[in-house]
Amino acid sequence: MVILKGVCLALLGIWELKREEIALLKELGSGQFGVVQLGKWKGQYDVAVKMIKEGSMSEDEFFQEAQTMM
């Protein structure tokens, strides 16, 4: 599969990336529910990685939020 820079992964049907393919670079922000970090996917694509604090939301709520952002 070829992934072009700037293409939304949702259009390609990709919901989750392999953790070992992402290098976390720096924290972009944090709040009540977790932290967002800048990451590099496959060494070349900038991605935002949202990490949820344990117990702050259910898995269903997380996936609903992710679907809204896509």
The reply to whether 4 falls in a domain is no
What is the arrangement of strands in the sheet containing 22-30, beginning at the earlier edge strand? 22-30, 34-41, 45-52
| CATH code for the domain in which residue 31 is found | 3.30.200.20
Examine residue 11 and state whether it is found in any structural domain, yes or no: no
Cα 44 to the center of its chain, rounded Å: 15
pTM for this structure? Answer: 0.66
Number of domains in the chain: 1
Per DSSP, helices labelled H in 1-70 are 59-69
Q: Does 50 carry a binding-site annotation?
A: yes
Residue 43 to residue 40: CA distance in whole angstroms: 5
14-52 pLDDT tens trace: 667 788 999 999 999 998 888 999 999 889 888 888 888
* Residue 30 resides in a domain: yes
Determine the pLDDT at residue 10. 59
Does residue 64 lie in a domain region?
A: no
Do the domain assignments include residue 14? no
Q: Is residue 24 part of a domain?
A: yes
Question: CB count, 10 Å around CB of 8?
Answer: 8
